[in-house]
Amino acid sequence: MPTGAIPVRTLSPHAAAELTAVARELLSQTGGSATDPWILSQLPDRVAALSDEVRHACRPVDTPEGLYVLRGTEVDDEAVGPTPAHWSRVGDAGALHDVVLLLLSAAMGEPIAWAGQQEGRFVHNIVPSPGHEQEQTGASSSVLLSPHTEDAFHPQRAHLLLLSCMRNHDAVATTAASVRRIELSDADRDLLGRPVLPILPDDAYAEAQSYQGEAPAVPTVFESEEGPTLRFDPAYTPLEQAPEDHRAAYRRLEEELERVSVAVSLTPGEVLVVDNDLVVHGRVPFQARYDGTDRWLKRSSVRVPGRRTRPEAERFEHGYGQKVLEAYA
């Protein structure tokens, strides 16, 4: 596969209908609410009963690109309603697609959520919001969302990130770049493998930003049993505090990630699956209209039990007091 290619997996109409039918049946038991905890309790059994085709489509990311686009499901633009102006106003809009996303997530591992983000929901809604246009969060629009590891500040961050497209009339691109595609000298890898700087909580975690504990220094690029991985969020890394040789290596890493970056313009029904240990993702700037037609993604986070892609020292980090919620706890 050539560098820069975007792997695609496509569900047959039968498999897509199977997923939708299971999601619809689960919703029928909750009065249409995708946030009912009962749905989480049903996921293991429902996923175990899915067809081989669906479960094969949810197999681990298996190329150096560290991502793939899953196609086959459909979104009715009129039925999902207008794009909300804020995640808190979504309610049960697109609830069917929340459950489809949870089924896919559970087929890949264990869905997780955050007590301190979007009220502990296991499916987040990513929409542009007035007053947040220039932040480095999913609610922004008019600025480049810098390539980053999702929830890089936390040792229990997801192994996989799923982005499901509800609406994208303007073909706004998600950017992605894999550490398995970059070229760095051994000297740079050695420098970036040292725990020199912390990664601070982003603006989506206001409570974490006020945490009083000492910020732990973490490595940026490191080797694991599965190969090189990275933990990267330049917008929340105080790079000015590092020695010059470390800053220079970090800049070269940024340049390499930009060189191998690909752009993915999702269409409704497509799901982008990102290996959060290999791939940094971002978003190009766009002009939000706030008229109900703006880009709208749904996001879920997945932990893969038994995966060994992170330094042992991470288990001693405090995570800035942020609690991870487990679907099967």
**Is residue 81, in this structure, part of any structural domain at all?**
yes
Residue-wise pLDDT for 175-216, tens only, equals 999 999 999 999 999 999 999 999 999 988 988 998 998 999
Residue-wise pLDDT for 18-36, tens only, equals 999 999 999 999 999 999 9
Residue-wise pLDDT for 55-77, tens only, equals 999 999 999 999 999 999 999 99
The domain tally of the chain equals: 1
pTM of the model: 0.96
**Is residue 155, in this structure, part of any structural domain at all?**
yes
**Is residue 30, in this structure, part of any structural domain at all?**
yes
Q: Three-state SS across the chain?
A: CCCCCCCEEECCHHHHHHHHHHHHHHHHCCCCCCCCHHHHHHHHHHHHCCCHHHHHHCCCCCCCCCEEEEECCCCCCCCCCCCCCCHHHCCCCCHHHHHHHHHHHHHHCEEEEECCCHHHCCCEEECCCCCCCCCCCCCCCCCCEEEECCCCCCCCCCCEEEEEEEECCCCCCEEEEEHHHCCCCHHHHHHHCCCCECCCCCCCCHHHHCCCCCCCCECCEEEECCEEEECCCHHHCCHHHCCHHHHHHHHHHHHHHHHCCEEECCCCCCEEEEECCCEEEEECCCCCCCCCCCCEEEEEEEECCCCCCCCHHHHHCCHHHCCEEECCC
Q: Which domain holds residue 106?
A: 8-326
**Is residue 235, in this structure, part of any structural domain at all?**
yes
- 77: domain CATH number is 3.60.130.10
**Is residue 310, in this structure, part of any structural domain at all?**
yes
**Is residue 257, in this structure, part of any structural domain at all?**
yes
Residue 198: the pLDDT is: 98
Task: Report the pLDDT averaged over residues 77-85.
Answer: 95
**Is residue 116, in this structure, part of any structural domain at all?**
yes
Q: Report whether pLDDT(4) > 70.
A: no
**Is residue 1, in this structure, part of any structural domain at all?**
no
Residue-wise pLDDT for 292-302, tens only, equals 999 999 999 99
